[in-house]
Structure 1
């Protein structure tokens, strides 16, 4: 199963369409050793052992690993150890422990019949991995974000086999930002016939929509590999099913493949009445591709797909199925908070559903290929994805010089780019190109070569590879310093060579802080533009004080939202700007200054709890639902009579604020801004009506009691929000997102401190302990505070702003019990069914 570029393949001859209810075989083969082989894909995550350290003897089959740590993948050892201010990773890498680690797994190989292959697939190992089987070196991958496969055929023995994986993440700092260390994504064992669909070998694309979108022409390519010793003649069948399981299309072709060769089949079927994939209705089809011999399938691969077209236009912005859609996106890093880089589908589903509720419809995978589970979820939930390959090419960036300990020298992807960069790009493209959510490929983020003459030919080469592997999507690179002084300034020819120009931080460029994209719009009227990275607001959830350490973190009163308010009013009212991806949607580990281990720049913290900023974005992006949010909390004992600034985020026309039943004031917009309802120069409303600065403020003399906000539209109340002064914590509440889970599935438990009246205490920092009994394990606790340097896996932690997250994993079938305790408060117990 090959993942990289290859020589020109043989192409099949397409069969005439079979219009009957069954497909009679039109091809035969003299080969008889394939008919009984059906592809199997087995999760290979269990039964691993780990040791941090390096010794060549660890690769040997007979090495005694009895005292090594037993674990289930995915695993990131970076969150297993305390952070250290002197760690070579520095603040850029979250002060995490790295080094070199080894994994070992004992297993009995499935019986291999003649004509069968056995393939090992790693979804991601960070980084510079080397894999051994029974002491023999098989291969590995340098770039820690790339999928790779290894052929085990004929190399296993009866009885005990030992896989050993060396992971070298010792050269630091080497990435931006936190990477994690280890086998942090899933591992799979695949069995298939000698003649099989190649790795990521099916590509289905929408060639166009016709007859008022009632028909679509599809192109289905299937790459087949013959690892056998004789040539074969086989059939390639395509069956497309809708979300309800009804077959809506079938087609087939014949294919001849020489021994040791690789060839592809292509069919061009027409689908009538397609249900199109959109960000609001992410409808998915299922394609079953089968290789057949004498009419019987011997290798079948299932591919999910969505029918849609995606285009970028210099005047109209982004077009989805021909309709203009404004991208309201965020950038995300790949770590999952308390599990580090270890990727769990459930964690990302929880996070992405929150972003969807915020009104977000776009995800930029910054700055590397993400876990496949993330892209699956983006397909399902309706996100418009910028899939990014690299953070650097040949020139190395400093990783942490401005973030604490660093040695003025850095490693990184540039170490491997010259030899393996094209392979890594092709691997990403072939793995990801069937995802309808992906609308744009990014070949780099803030690449230093953007300011050098040497950068243009590299750009063109990478962009050509993208066009070759996927002719349906355009290519961008996220560019900073577009208008900065020399020598950092991006070269004009570099910008103009891109299909779509990605603009990072348009508001930082001196006079352009006011004009933003306008100057380039005049200079390059045919340029396609998108905001690939612009600042969010962030802050630490529940914090309304000035930071103790300057420039370390923001409070809920931070004025950074003003910058985005100006930027979004501009972006929302200019069709030629396709949209924006903000930095960031979710807090992440790394890019920090001591004493912090992460960056609080998101609208959601690492624990998955929304911040005040979340509701700001929701008020301007979520056009389906009413938003009314005010801050801060109303627990200010000792500040009676002092004026407290109250901020409101809303998409109501106006909001009345009451203190203990007395009207404080009613606020709304005095004159409609560009894009608002009733604006004199915009006939169609582009964004929900809201206030002049997209927020409201009142100065309220503090007295304990109740703040009530009433939102109105057209003079009628449509929303009400009440915030009360609470008492001290009196009990603990725990709420799980699921009570049943499969073995190795995970559950998130939100823990809150409540007063006697049952109100969450918004300023509680109560220490809490969590105990898990039965067939489950505690993966960790997180309060979302990057200043909390305690280890995630320790079962005690303080609440932040009255909240804490616990995550457990089911280890075996049965019933598990989770107990939450706090000094002086009654225990809370939850039970979980596993299996």
Structure 2
């Protein structure tokens, strides 16, 4: 079969449960997040066990010290880093180990350290990893102290002094989770379980489990591997056992391959993301000595040159967005519930795909995509060897290390991520500036693609090509060797390329928000999908005084804008109607706002109104008087009216088949009078990953939102809660996110609450001249 043309992949991909596990009969996985000591700056000798660190700051990780600020136009990170500080940060942690663990394999796992990390255990240097986005681990054997009263110390140095280092915000420090893993000396390799399904149908699936087992013990060992599959209800649906053909000698690795049939499987899809679990156990002398649990979803994927992307044999138009790894006020140290909030908002407007731009993400982010039903383009690099972030010899990011580390980091990303059912394609680069018109450029791409295929032959590989007609990669043979041809923007060029090469599989890797860009996907069945730039505003890549890039479908706080409303009308499956107006009343499309409250009503005479809707007919009413009905345009453009402004109510009524299915009404706001607090979650758990977002909306005396309000709002919390951060949608915000005071931006701002105990926490908001408000949040275990 020609992989270039069809790339048929029938697989069930398991995300290894590397997050939030507890002890099992075979191994112990303990969170290593709490009780670190931190120092901002360099500290000579801090890797040594005897180093004096009593004055260092106590904190838990994940921790991003860069987001703490302060902002300054003089900071070396510049526009790419959002004008936030850079430098060196040190972390140290003391811990003890049971005497019984002296005969175990002990390893530490980091999900990410930004950047150029060095790690020591009891003064011994374990290694260096330049790429801040990659997950890595070190075995600590031979360098540990065991038993009561015998202390160990881990030391981590993170260095991002060379700036500018990125085109977008990176964060700094141990900004993702850390674990300590204790296993038998005969154990399953790190990321050593790979689950696929070579056969999938509604009646039967064949689950193929490939497992690597290592032996670091002095003696050889006879081992057996047993794998059991469980459905979502916890019921066993299949099992297989296999004994190694020979004893596993010291330093050797044995590979087990098992096929397990599952009858009447529930297939994973974006609409029904059903997950199974595979529990793999290593047995010796009849006892379980190691195990691993992996969630997985049974599904088939297929990229084709004529139908685009197929999921479980049916065409799925990938309606995707690109996402950077920061979440506004949290920087790069992101609680899981903050990601869940973002993904749910995107899903609500019809998004079903995520491109991880332009680097590996935290593993729990992919777990969320598995559970929530997103397909993912898993991207690895923004740069290869060419410097994209500065001119001359100043600065430089990953390009300084790609030659030595590129294939290693690509390998480790694939090994870690290949078991997630959400991932359907890898991208090995974004707008790469290395020369792609000679053998060296060809080799770099081919080596990366081959690395992906070696460790995961089940998925295709692409990259986000930059101005391919200019660089001639459509003509010089470069695009021809790609599994899937991906292009950023210039959507009609990709259409033309497929017309010239109908055997090419194509996808939009980064796309604009225009109507013509949407039509390029809508009107061409062979187009696999698009990923909008960008799903949510992100820190960096902005010119002072702005510190946030504002091209998002949503703003930094997940506030909507006209762009959100238009996209929902194109991508949502539910009835949609939204009203926007031109705030200047001149030039259709400029200065769009979604309110009926002009800043200067006397000068605002003739309002230009656009209605975004996917419904058959929309009728517009001004203060109860009909302004006429308009049918849905064939090209999906907005329906437009010119309306003499009148204070009061503007209402859109949308119908399908003559029946009203959805309405929207905008009202003119009066003078700001009070604050209304609302929370999306009335209960959270008392842990780092669970937070509640509370929105403060400034309204008039009648409760109508005041879109021009910029009042200063002060937040406080009583009870077992704490303010994690405050924020608003202002691109030029320079106030530290830790401050409890925030200006309303376009009438609203947010406070984010984290637990610090159990019980009821009360959040209050006040502002000069405004009636205060409060809301309660229950915080549990």
TM-score, with length taken from structure 2: 0.91
DSSP-derived class of the 2:552 partner: coil
Report the more deviating stretch, 494-503 or 250-259.
250-259
* 1:287 partnered with 2:281: no
Tell me the alpha carbon deviations over residues 422-459 of structure 1, each in whole angstroms, 9 at most, x when there is no partner: 11011100110010110001111111235331111111
Counterpart Cα distance in 2 of 1:773 and 1:624:
40
* 1:581 partnered with 2:531: yes
Corresponding residue number in structure 1 for 2:571: 621
Counterpart selection for 2:457 from 466, 471, 475: 471
Corresponding residue number in structure 2 for 1:594: 544
Corresponding residue number in structure 1 for 2:631: 668
* 1:81 partnered with 2:26: no
Counterpart Cα distance in 2 of 1:95 and 1:634:
36
Corresponding residue number in structure 1 for 2:585: none
Counterpart Cα distance in 2 of 1:430 and 1:110:
31
- Say if 2:198 and 2:207, in contact at 8 Å, map to a contact too: yes
- Say if 1:349 and 1:377, in contact at 8 Å, map to a contact too: yes
Counterpart Cα distance in 2 of 1:205 and 1:579:
24
Corresponding residue number in structure 2 for 1:646: 609
Counterpart Cα distance in 1 of 2:272 and 2:632:
33
Unaligned 5+ segments in structure 1 are 1-34, 402-406, 508-514, 537-563, 674-690
TM-score, with length taken from structure 1: 0.85
How far has the Cα of 1:326 moved from its partner? 0.7
Counterpart selection for 2:45 from 57, 67, 70: 57
Counterpart Cα distance in 1 of 2:185 and 2:760:
43
- Say if 2:474 and 2:480, in contact at 8 Å, map to a contact too: no
How far has the Cα of 1:341 moved from its partner? 0.7
- Say if 2:684 and 2:755, in contact at 8 Å, map to a contact too: no
Corresponding residue number in structure 2 for 1:567: 517
Corresponding residue number in structure 2 for 1:677: none
Counterpart Cα distance in 1 of 2:121 and 2:75:
33
How far has the Cα of 1:135 moved from its partner? 2.7
Counterpart selection for 2:654 from 700, 711, 724: 711
Report the more deviating stretch, 344-353 or 69-78.
69-78
Counterpart selection for 1:429 from 414, 417, 438: 414
Counterpart selection for 2:228 from 239, 260, 268: 239
CA RMSD of aligned residues (A): 2.0
Corresponding residue number in structure 2 for 1:220: 209
* 1:148 partnered with 2:136: yes
Corresponding residue number in structure 2 for 1:330: 321
Corresponding residue number in structure 2 for 1:790: 735
* 1:376 partnered with 2:367: yes
* 1:533 partnered with 2:510: yes
Corresponding residue number in structure 2 for 1:683: none
Corresponding residue number in structure 2 for 1:686: none
DSSP-derived class of the 1:428 partner: helix
Counterpart Cα distance in 2 of 1:711 and 1:462:
50
Corresponding residue number in structure 1 for 2:264: 273
Counterpart Cα distance in 1 of 2:772 and 2:224:
63
CA distance 1:813–1:42, change in 2 (3 Å): farther
Counterpart Cα distance in 1 of 2:674 and 2:399:
53
DSSP-derived class of the 1:58 partner: coil
CA distance 1:612–1:109, change in 2 (3 Å): farther
- Say if 1:108 and 1:161, in contact at 8 Å, map to a contact too: yes
Counterpart selection for 1:254 from 235, 243, 248: 243
Counterpart Cα distance in 2 of 1:52 and 1:602:
32
How far has the Cα of 1:216 moved from its partner? 1.7
Q: Which 4+ runs in 1 deviate beyond 4 A?
A: 488-491
How far has the Cα of 1:79 moved from its partner? 1.0
Tell me the alpha carbon deviations over residues 485-523 of structure 1, each in whole angstroms, 9 at most, x when there is no partner: x5x86663221111001011124xxxxxxx433321232
Counterpart Cα distance in 1 of 2:483 and 2:723:
47
Mapping 1:402-413, distance limit 5 Å = 409-413=394-398
How far has the Cα of 1:738 moved from its partner? 3.6
Tell me the alpha carbon deviations over residues 810-831 of structure 1, each in whole angstroms, 9 at most, x when there is no partner: 2344554432221233433334
Mapping 1:119-158, distance limit 5 Å = 119-157=107-145, 158=149
Corresponding residue number in structure 2 for 1:16: none
Counterpart Cα distance in 1 of 2:171 and 2:739:
18
Unaligned 5+ segments in structure 2 are 1-22, 582-593
How far has the Cα of 1:739 moved from its partner? 2.2
Tell me the alpha carbon deviations over residues 156-212 of structure 1, each in whole angstroms, 9 at most, x when there is no partner: 3343332221100000111231111111100111111111111111110111225xx
- Say if 2:575 and 2:662, in contact at 8 Å, map to a contact too: no
